[in-house]
């Protein structure tokens, strides 16, 4: 039945926007307030090129976004188009909530090779249907407080060649220890350091990372030779019980125990990582490129970027994630919705507008240099983010069925381990539960 509905919707697209469809208002949702202005600019340019279409943008915060969207699908009031996430769209597609765009991409000869390698493939389900076109990409780097680095006697050039291993943490852990300061002014690598009364943690932590760990631990596990699953996308077996994952998590918990990284109680206190860093309580953090400008906007803090550390594999690592826009299967305006999605994924939006705003990196390859220049003009050298693409040290974000269940299991497990309520062997039954989801 779902396939039949999709077919009817696609057949209703007719000749598409170029064929002169009637006027329509496109309801478009996104979650990132920082990105709303740039997509409003895209909407204005789109309307100018297609006067019959008007885009109405609605922005929600991340948590409210998905809850509101779920309710909207149930009530039949979902937006025509919405920004989607790789961890969410497989479930929505399997429920028949999304309009496949496979035939439209073919019909309009959209050049998928213009996007960063691998990104377009992530938006195709196991049955070969495409649901999105890449709009941006993100990687992970280290953001550090330049004043705190200077006070610790660490030179910026040292930050560019840090190494990491799960046994002693390498030069990376030495820097983390040095940047950690207790309330008496003792550093983490000095005698008398009081780990129970820390004023500044050397490394902040956002959450336990659940089963994704994009900005929390993925850069360590993958540079240690670990992979999430047997294949990606659409794995059938996950590897959370793998010794390489366990030893990495053991190392991360050791940093908490040593007082270099905040405890789960502090992390879950309700004050986010960005604000805590801004208050001077974290000397450095591992962060996604999408938050860069937010850190630079913090008052009273000067920041700089460094690449993620080189791991036992001899390479750095970063998850390679990216967003796309999905069309609701129940849209009343499939012509208009597709025209808008295609525009969002085009150079006219990504290269001419988004790249110049210095907020995110557009998915189109040729726009990366434009974005780097825009960030540089804003005083930010983003090479620690983009070097992963150039050096081939990216790893595609996991795309899987049952991701909501995996997240629930791994949130409970990782929270427990990093809270010292369970040891690392709790990953064994968790991994068994996860793999049982796949039969």
Which of the listed residues 351, 368, 389 is the one where a domain comes to its end? 389
Q: Are residues 207 and 242 in the same domain?
A: yes
Q: Are residues 38 and 178 in the same domain?
A: no
Q: Are residues 373 and 268 in the same domain?
A: no
% of the chain with per-residue pLDDT over 90: 92
Query: What is the model's pLDDT at position 21?
Result: 64
Q: Are residues 285 and 423 in the same domain?
A: yes
All residues at 6 or more sequence positions from 61 whose CB lies less than 8 Å from its CB, including other chains: 31, 33
pLDDT (mean) for 83-104: 95
Q: Is residue 15 part of a domain?
A: no
Positive or negative CA dihedral for 219, 212, 69, 102? positive
Query: What is the model's pLDDT at position 16?
Result: 38
Whether the per-residue pLDDT at 7 is higher than 70: the answer is no
Q: Are residues 198 and 312 in the same domain?
A: yes
Q: Are residues 147 and 246 in the same domain?
A: yes
All residues at 6 or more sequence positions from 49 whose CB lies less than 8 Å from its CB, including other chains: 343, 348
Q: Is residue 8 part of a domain?
A: no
Q: Is residue 18 part of a domain?
A: no
Q: Are residues 196 and 314 in the same domain?
A: yes
Query: Cα separation of 145 and 185, whole Å?
Result: 17
pLDDT category at 11 given cuts 50, 70, 90 is very low
Q: Are residues 123 and 212 in the same domain?
A: no
Q: Which of 200-209, 233-242, 396-405 has the lowest mean pLDDT?
A: 396-405
Which of the listed residues 369, 389, 409 is the one where a domain comes to its end? 389
Mean per-residue pLDDT of the chain? 93
Whether the per-residue pLDDT at 1 is higher than 70: the answer is no
Q: Is residue 128 part of a domain?
A: yes
Q: Is residue 10 part of a domain?
A: no
Query: What is the model's pLDDT at position 22?
Result: 81
Give which of 156, 314, 147, 141 is closest to 218, Cα–Cα.
141
Q: Are residues 241 and 309 in the same domain?
A: yes
Query: Cα separation of 360 and 34, whole Å?
Result: 10
Query: What is the model's pLDDT at position 270?
Result: 85
Eight-class DSSP state of 397:
P
CATH number at residue 64: 3.40.190.10
Whether 340 contacts 54, CB under 8 Å: no
Q: Are residues 262 and 403 in the same domain?
A: yes
Q: Is residue 5 part of a domain?
A: no
Helix axes 427-436, 403-418, angle to 10 degrees: 180
Q: Are residues 270 and 413 in the same domain?
A: yes
Higher pLDDT, 307 or 15: 307
Whether the per-residue pLDDT at 122 is higher than 80: the answer is yes
Eight-class DSSP state of 353:
I
Q: Determine the structural domain holding residue 154 and report its residue range.
A: 140-320+398-437
Chain segment 255-296, per-residue pLDDT in tens: 999 999 999 999 998 899 999 999 999 999 999 999 999 999
pLDDT category at 345 given cuts 50, 70, 90 is very high
Query: What is the model's pLDDT at position 18?
Result: 38
Number of domains in the chain: 2
Whether the per-residue pLDDT at 63 is higher than 50: the answer is yes
Whether the per-residue pLDDT at 10 is higher than 80: the answer is no
Whether the per-residue pLDDT at 62 is higher than 50: the answer is yes
Q: Is residue 12 part of a domain?
A: no
Q: Are residues 59 and 132 in the same domain?
A: yes
């Amino acid at each position: 039945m779902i396939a039949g509905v999709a077919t009817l919707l696609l057949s209703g697209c007719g000749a598409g926007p170029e064929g002169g469809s009637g006027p329509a208002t496109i309801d478009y949702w996104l979650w990132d307030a920082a990105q709303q202005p740039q997509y409003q600019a895209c909407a204005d340019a789109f309307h100018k090129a297609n006067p019959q279409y008007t885009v109405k943008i609605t922005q929600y915060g991340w948590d409210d976004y998905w809850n509101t969207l779920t309710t909207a699908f149930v009530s039949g009031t979902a937006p025509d188009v919405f920004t989607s996430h790789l961890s969410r769209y497989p479930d929505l597609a399997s429920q028949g909530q999304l309009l496949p765009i496979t035939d439209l991409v073919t019909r309009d000869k959209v050049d998928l090779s213009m996007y960063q390698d691998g990104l377009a493939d992530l938006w195709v389900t196991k049955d070969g249907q495409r649901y999105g076109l890449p709009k941006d990409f993100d990687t992970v780097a280290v953001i550090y407080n330049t004043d705190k680095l200077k006070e610790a006697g660490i030179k910026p050039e040292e930050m560019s060649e840090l190494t990491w291993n799960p046994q002693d943490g390498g030069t990376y852990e030495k820097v983390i220890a040095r940047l950690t300061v207790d309330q008496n002014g003792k550093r983490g690598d000095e005698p008398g350091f009081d780990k129970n009364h820390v004023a500044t943690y050397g490394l902040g932590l956002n959450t336990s990372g659940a089963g994704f760990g994009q900005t929390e631990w993925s850069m360590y596990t993958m540079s240690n030779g670990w992979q999430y699953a047997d294949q990606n996308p659409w794995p059938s077996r996950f590897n959370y019980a793998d010794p390489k994952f366990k030893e990495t998590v053991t190392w991360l918990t050791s940093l908490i125990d040593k007082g270099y990284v905040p405890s789960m109680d502090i992390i879950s206190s309700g004050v986010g990582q960005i604000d805590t860093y801004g208050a001077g309580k974290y000397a450095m953090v591992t962060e996604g490129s999408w938050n860069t400008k937010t850190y630079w906007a913090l008052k009273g803090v000067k920041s700089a970027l460094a690449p993620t550390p080189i791991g036992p594999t001899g390479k750095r690592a970063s998850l390679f994630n990216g967003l796309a826009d999905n069309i609701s299967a129940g849209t009343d305006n499939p012509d208009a919705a597709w025209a808008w999605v295609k525009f969002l994924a085009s150079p006219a939006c990504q290269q001419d507008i988004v790249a110049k705003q210095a907020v995110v990196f557009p998915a189109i390859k040729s726009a990366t240099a434009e974005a780097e220049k825009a960030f540089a003009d804003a005083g930010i050298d983003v090479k620690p983010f983009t070097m992963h693409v150039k050096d081939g040290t990216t790893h595609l974000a996991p795309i899987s069925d049952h991701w909501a269940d995996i997240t629930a299991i791994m949130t409970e497990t990782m929270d427990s381990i990093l809270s010292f309520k369970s040891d690392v062997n709790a990953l064994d039954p968790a991994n068994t539960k996860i793999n049982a989801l796949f039969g």
